[in-house]
Chain A
Amino acid sequence: MDWDLALILLVDGLANGSVYLLAGIGLVLIFSVTRVLFVPFGDIAAFAALTLAAFEAGRLPATVGMVATLAALATLAETWRLLRIGEHRRLGRALVGWGLLPLLPCAVAWGVVESQAPGWLQILATLLLVLPIIPLVARLTLQPIADASVLVLLMVSLVLHFLLSGLGLLFFGAEGSRTKPLTSLNWEVVAGFTVGGQTLLMVAAALLLSALFYLAFEYTVIGKALRATAVNRVGARLVGIRPAQTALLAYCGASLLAGLIGVLVAPTTTMYYDSGFIIGLRAFIAAIIGALTSYPLTAVGALAVGIFESFASFWSGALKDAIVFGLLIPVLILRSYMALHVDDEIEELDE
């Protein structure tokens, strides 16, 4: 392998790594606050890509139907819960929060299609439309058992991936699409070696969002409340932080990240309803490198996975995925040995 090729692979790996970095932040955000390993993260990113493609084609994205269905189900679930505990007074708020609020982006989407809005508005509408998906899905499937063991939550989350990919097929169909490039600029670093604008955009987005998240966690009350919930749930409750509220915030943040990933990835490859899984899994490895709690380590892990993948695909395109997932085992072993070895009780499944 010569240096030119290595450089190309490296840049390629960094671009991939940036995507995994964003996804990794989302996974760590959800896990640290809710103890849920959100496996279907990538599926949501794929939905975002397909949504943007629909906007570009001048169609109303199927996401509208999906969000509306989820909102209706979530409203039903919330109404049922409130009636059962006898809190009739909070019904109105629940109706607005779970029923009407998620429908706003649907209206925006309709407006964008009708007015044939420009590309940047389509992107904005895509992000808005994807934003309610994770919170709604979580409200239906994860929030009712928020106190279950990590293992049960992991099972639900795994099943959720299959459920969502089924829903993806139902709503978006089996055909894939690819969106217009976000930029056609190229940057010639040295003679004969150009870096695509799309790559730069991915790296820039990863840098910018990491910085934004850092600032929010360090300097805002809400960011601190999120961290506090992650560090010590009981402590957080004792100062009046409701885990359900921080969880909702974390899900919203993750949904936004998933939307961004979809928009960034959509122009680089043809996306299908189930293309997101692989992205999610690779980010997953990054998040585990960060012990599912550390953002900086997750970022390092994401870039490492991206570069590793890029070189692995050069050596053996066919076995690339098996190699990348196989990487998880040494990472886990390393993590487990580094973790303080407590003889934690094995989590109960039944009961």
Chain B
Amino acid sequence: MNKRVNTFLVALLVATIAVLPAMIGSFGTALMNDIGVSTLVVLGLVMLTGTGGATSFGQAAFVGIAAYATGWLTTTQDLSPWLGLLFALFLTGAAALAIGMLTLHLGGHYLPLSTIAWGLSIPLLFGNIAALGSNTGLANIPPLQIGPWSLMEAKTIYYLIWPVVGLAFLFSYNLMNSRAGRAIRSLRGGATLLGSVGADAYRVRLWLFVTAAQLAAIAGWLYAHMNRFVSPSAFNLRASIEYLLMAIAGGVGHLAGALFGSGVVLLLKNKVQDALQILSSNGARLEIIVFGIVFILLLHFARGGAMGLIARWSARRKTPSAPALADDGTPPLPRRPLPTRGSEILRVEHALKRFGGLVAVNDVSFTVNAGEIVGLIGPNGAGKSTLFNLVTGAAPVSGGTIAFCGRDITHLPQRRIARLGMARTFQHVNLRPNMSVLDSVALGAHARGSAGMLRGGLSLDRREEHQIMAEAWRQLARVGLAERAGERAGSLPLGWQRILEIARALAADPILLVLDEPAAGLRKQEKAALAELLRGLRSEGITILIVEHDMDFVMKLVDRLVVMNFGSMLLQDSPAVVRADPRVQSAYLGSVL
């Protein structure tokens, strides 16, 4: 969207929110307060579920922990609500950290299932602890107090809630557009994608989980002092599912969806309650039917939510452009020294990989020297991709050793190998389709920065961020993609997507570039452009190991070839010798019966 229009819309929204209580009366203001508190929870959920891909069916439990923490501290211990805030943040953070460390390693659908487990158990605990008032809860929680002002009225606490919501949005927006945010936005690409840029997917997810819980904690604290009463039923599984409904209704892929979703759902709920009360004596409790039907319809027909529709509509109208970066004298990111041309940088010795009884890579040894392009070829099923995974650390080795720049990397995790200067691309292009081209490349420089989520969210990472973006621009210009920097990565044709992956790899300032079938599926001209680019990189001193099936492409490009067949090495030699070898011919073309 146009930046000026955006700024205007945000200003308009802020102004409206500022004057709203004067116009809508105390009932409307109370409703707005509820919306604000929910927005905080849903904002965390949008980042966690929509962006980070970890669905939580238990977010209300975190709201509950915070609400009970401050409720207990202020009623039974008679301490200040402001201490209650610290206590709530601490307790919720600790709980999220513990739960996250226990469950975030879970694969597949086990993770969302585990959220149901604690989403159910935690409210049940509240209801059964006598010190927390069991099922009746805690009453008479004191209102908030700022200096001489008491925030007891809906109209007064409104002016605390909504600035907090505003700050939360600012924090989240900054976070999403920082180094950590790019890693978060890439979480759905899988642990291998993050590992390939030197990031640890588990840690990124863990801190995202804690961040989302902290937003829920602030909401819980506000909730407790706004209603001045807490009971377990406000934090049970149903409440969690309602937050999820808000996130999905608003659009789980966009921060603004949080505001939109909580607003729409709570307003609707309010109207439905009124309408049902007239229809039936059970009215208030029947709203669940309406709510269920709406949710299921959403999941059937509009999983992208309202913001998804808006985004689709606005994307149709224009191609976004990325703002160019002004040179403000910040020095560029430091580069690592490249090894002298001809020195050995990769040594694979007797590499072995077994999958159960099957030997996929059998005793393969080869070396790669600085400044050359080496091709690893072989027919389908020869074990090339497996060997590729062994070299880059994406899969553990069953036997043999691998050394990179004189260092044994046989048992190092993928991200450590990446940080040593080995960058890779993917056979099945692994880009986040909704990330901009520029951001996709900036992700590659992850290991060259250090700013975490807090620094990113508070915008204290400006200098480093400037350096990373400058680097991203530099690499885009290097591969010829600078003009498309603002477009969605997913909107590029396949050929450009592969080149974008190479730019991402280059942003890591690699010594060795490992490419997995970069020419697969490309048209002739695209292949020619790719080959041209790779030759250029070689002349700049970058070493390239290329796994490729397309012989035509690879023969014209490489200095040396390693040929594999049935998991073993057939031979290694120059392209001309390899092509003339009858063994290679029969491996590729097959033999006559």
Is A221 close to B, CB under 8 A? Answer: no
- Which residues from chain A contact B187 at a C-beta distance below 8 Å? 346
Give 6 new A-B contacts, CB below 8 A, not counting A162-B238, A332-B110, A345-B188: A154-B109, A156-B296, A159-B292, A281-B120, A322-B125, A345-B189
Residues of A148-180 at the interface with B, using a CB-CB cut-off of 8 Å, are 148, 150-152, 154-156, 158-160, 162-163, 165-167, 169-170, 174
Q: CB distance B299 to A156 under 8 Å? A: yes
Interface bits A327-349 vs B (CB < 8 Å: 1, else 0): 01100110110010111111111
A163 and B117 in contact, given A151-B55, A156-B299 (Cβ under 8 angstroms)? no
> Which residues of chain A come closer than 8 Å to B124, judged between CB atoms?
319, 321-322, 325
Given contacts A167-B289, A170-B286, contact A339 B241 (CB under 8 A): no
Instruction: Report A292-351 residues with CB < 8 Å from chain B CB.
Output: 318-319, 321-322, 325-326, 328-329, 332-333, 335-336, 339, 341-351
Name which residue of chain B comes closest to A281, CB basis. Answer: B120
Q: Count how many chain B residues have C-beta atoms less than 8 Å from C-beta atoms of the other chain.
A: 55
Question: CB-CB < 8 A to A162: which residues of B?
Answer: 238, 241, 288, 291-292
A155 with B299: CB separation less than 8 A: yes
| Contacting residues, chain B, for A351 (C-beta < 8 A) | 303-304
Is the CB–CB distance between A341 and B113 below 8 Å?
no
Contact A350 B253 (CB under 8 A): yes
Which residues of the other chain, A, contact B325 by a CB distance below 8 angstroms?
A: none
Cross-chain contact of A152 among B107, B288, B299, B305 (Cβ < 8 A): B299
A interface residues (Cβ-Cβ under 8 A, vs B):
37, 141, 144-145, 148, 150-152, 154-156, 158-160, 162-163, 165-167, 169-170, 174, 281, 288, 318-319, 321-322, 325-326, 328-329, 332-333, 335-336, 339, 341-351
Q: Footprint of A on B, CB under 8 Å?
A: 49-50, 53-55, 57, 102-103, 105-110, 112-114, 116-118, 120-121, 124-125, 128, 187-192, 238, 241, 244-245, 248, 251-253, 282, 285-286, 288-289, 291-293, 295-296, 299-300, 303-305, 308
Residue in B closest to A285 when the chains form the complex, CB atoms? B117
User: Could you tell me if A151 and B107 are in contact, using CB atoms closer than 8 angstroms?
Assistant: no
Contacts between the two chains (Cβ within 8 Å), count: 145
With A166-B292, A350-B308 as given contacts, are A319 and B50 in contact (CB-CB < 8 Å)? no
A332 touches B299 (CB 8 A): no
CB distance from A344 to the nearest CB of B (A): 6
Closest to B244 in A: A155
- A174 to B285, alpha carbons, bound, how many Å? 11
A325 to B120, CA, bound (A): 7
Chain A residues near B54 (CB, 8 Å)?
Answer: 346
What is the CA–CA distance of A326 and B54 in the complex, to the nearest angstrom? 20
Chain A positions within 8 Å of B251 at CB level: 350
Could you tell me the distance between the alpha carbons of A281 and B119 in the complex, rounded to whole angstroms? 13
B293 contacts A326, CB within 8 Å? no
**Residues of chain A contacted by B106 (CB below 8 angstroms):** 332-333, 336
Task: Show 21 A/B contacts (Cβ-Cβ < 8 Å), sorted by A.
Answer: A141-B300, A145-B299, A152-B303, A154-B109, A155-B244, A155-B295, A156-B299, A158-B116, A160-B292, A162-B292, A163-B288, A163-B289, A163-B293, A328-B116, A346-B54, A346-B187, A347-B53, A349-B53, A350-B251, A350-B303, A351-B304
Asked whether, in the complex, the Cβ of B105 is within 8 Å of the Cβ of A336, the reply is: yes
Give the chain B neighbours of A322 by CB distance below 8 A. Answer: 120-121, 124-125, 128
Contacts of A321 in B (CB 8 A): 120-121, 124
A24 to chain B, nearest CB (A): 15
Do A325 and B289 have beta carbons less than 8 Å apart? no
Which residue of chain A has its CB nearest to the CB of B257? A350
**A158 CB contacts on chain B under 8 angstroms:** 57, 116, 241
Alpha-carbon distance A346/B49, docked complex (angstroms)? 11
Residues of B within 8 A of A152 (CB): 299, 303
Shortest CB-to-CB span from A312 to chain B, Å, is: 12
Nearest-neighbour CB distance to chain A for B262, whole angstroms, equals 18
List the 5 shortest-distance A-B pairs measured between CB atoms, nearest first: A163-B292, A328-B117, A346-B53, A166-B288, A166-B289
- Complex Cα spacing A156 to B110, Å: 17
A330, closest chain B residue (CB): B102
Flag if B113 contacts A328 (CB, 8 Å): yes
Expressed in whole angstroms, the Cα–Cα distance for A37 and B244 within the complex equals 18
Least distance between B63 CB and chain A CB atoms (Å):
18
Q: Identify which of A169, A335, A349 contacts B110 (C-beta below 8 A).
A: A335
* Residues on the B chain within 8 Å of A170, using CB: 282, 286, 289
Contact call A329/B118, Cβ cutoff below 8 A = yes
Q: Are B108 and A344 in contact (CB under 8 A)?
A: yes
